[in-house]
Structure 1
């Protein structure tokens, strides 16, 4: 999977001042997460179902 060709979206709760920003991209069977300040830095890739579980847990 080439992570450079993904369409990245900034999380809606990220600060608008360029601070704590998280970006997400959707790949075939995964969600990819990166720090917008370091777009070529480390990326976290998780299965879609695991990401859905994470979001549900954070909302509780």
Structure 2
């Protein structure tokens, strides 16, 4: 599991774009959204860097959480 902070994730539309982006990369990934705290937790067979690249390309550059 990898957690990211996505400062630009502010609404349901953002959640939809992020979900579509990550499931296109890995159809079996599991994503937990915390819209209030601007964080997502991703369980994927992709590397964290692949996830960062996909999110950045979609317009949601993440900061990896501690």
Give the structure-1-normalised TM-score. Answer: 0.30
Q: Rg: which structure is higher?
A: 1
Higher normalized helix content (fraction of residues) = 2
User: Greater relative contact order: 1 or 2 (C-alpha under 8 angstroms, separation 6 or more)?
Assistant: 2
